[in-house]
Amino acid sequence: MNGKSKQNVAKLRKAIENINPGYAINLMEVCGTHTMTIARSGIRDMLPQNVRLLSGPGCPVCVTSAGDIDKAIEYSKIPGAVLATFGDMIRVPGSRYSLSQARARGSDVRVVYSVYEALKIAESNPDRSVIFESIGFETTAPSVADAIIRAKENGIDNFYVLCLNKTVPRVLRVLSSSDEVRINGFILPGHVSAIIGVRPYRFLASEYGINGIISGFDTEDVLLTIAGLLKHIRDGEAVIENQYSRVVREDGNTAALSLLYGVFEPCDTAWRGIGTIPGSGLKIKDEYGSYDAEKRFGISVTDTHEPRGCRCGDVLRGIIDPQDCPLFGKSCTPDRPVGPCMVSSEGSCGIWYRERKAL
């Protein structure tokens, strides 16, 4: 942080002190990258004691249910199949074991950095079924849609997608209506908002009286967002603002949205620790159904369960901080994770653990 940035941070801290309403305030960040900024910059320590930051369900790896992990493991067992997945997903425990352990047992599980890499594997191995485990929010879904379209255009008929993608606005509705914790304001995600825009969040203010500000990712961005939220709360307002206007537009990225909803349509899906939320997932439309792994192989799983003692779900809902879980830093560490919040680079438990160790 340069001298000018330090001065700006000092001014914002002073502004927050002056704006502070003085009573208990809960603000929730809905993005793993914001969680990283908050931890690395020590933002929690900069705030008044009455202002609490909650880490919400902004990590797509973390909100993937144990049942969906179990399903991916079963797909990896298909004879001759390749299951392609992101690096964070390979170590997430399912009900019994992880994809990493499935690979050790003989499954061909490969780590890829994008869906296009999985498509390339399929193109290079026409005699094998290549299944891409697709996770993420609206940010990554357009590229998956594009890959499916390319597979169709190029006659790559051995490429399939296990679609576990989720969309953000509906989970915010669930959190806003919950009586488990009172959320006074949301630090809204920048990357997702670059795709969906500002409009999908306006219900937070109009229906629930909750403020939300779309934020950038550096320390000054986040502090500016917190100051804005506190001011609106102090003044009794309920508004949705776009602090990240250099990237986010009111209607989002219309080209990306057209691509996304040209291939996918909403469906009900399970969120770890939260439950099934109607219309919050994405499924492949019938027009592209031949690339849908679930339609092609029809594998289902039963007897799924969350890891014993893991309170990742409570962390994702803002009920507890990571260190309040009895497993945190003891039986659950990044080297020996029990739950996904300790695995992912965007998981709040892993972030809290790494930053605490760095102090």
Q: What is the pLDDT of residues 298-327, one digit of tens each?
A: 898 888 888 889 999 999 999 999 999 999
Q: Give residue limits of the domains in the chain.
A: 3-58+172-242, 66-167+252-297, 312-358
pLDDT in tens, 110-130: 999 999 999 999 999 999 999
Domain 3-58+172-242 matches domain 66-167+252-297 at the CATH topology level = yes
For the cut 70, the answer to whether the pLDDT of residue 51 exceeds it is yes
Confidence (pLDDT) at 358: 43
> Is residue 142 a contact partner of residue 183, using CB atoms and an 8 Å limit?
no
C-beta atoms surrounding 250 within 10 Å: 10
Q: What is the pLDDT of residue 300?
A: 85
pTM (predicted TM-score): 0.93
The pLDDT value recorded for residue 307 is 85
Query: What local confidence, expressed as pLDDT, does residue 1 receive?
Result: 57
Q: Which CATH class is domain 66-167+252-297?
A: alpha beta
DSSP 305-351: -PPTT--HHHHHTTSS-GGGSTTBTTTB-SSS-SSGGGTSTT-HHHH
More confident residue, 174 or 359: 174
Sign of CA dihedral 216, 218, 222, 225: negative
In the predicted model, is pLDDT for residue 4 greater than 90? Answer: no
Q: Does domain 3-58+172-242 have CATH number 3.40.50.720?
A: no
pLDDT for residue 357 is more than 70: no
Per-residue pLDDT, averaged over 230-248, amounts to 97
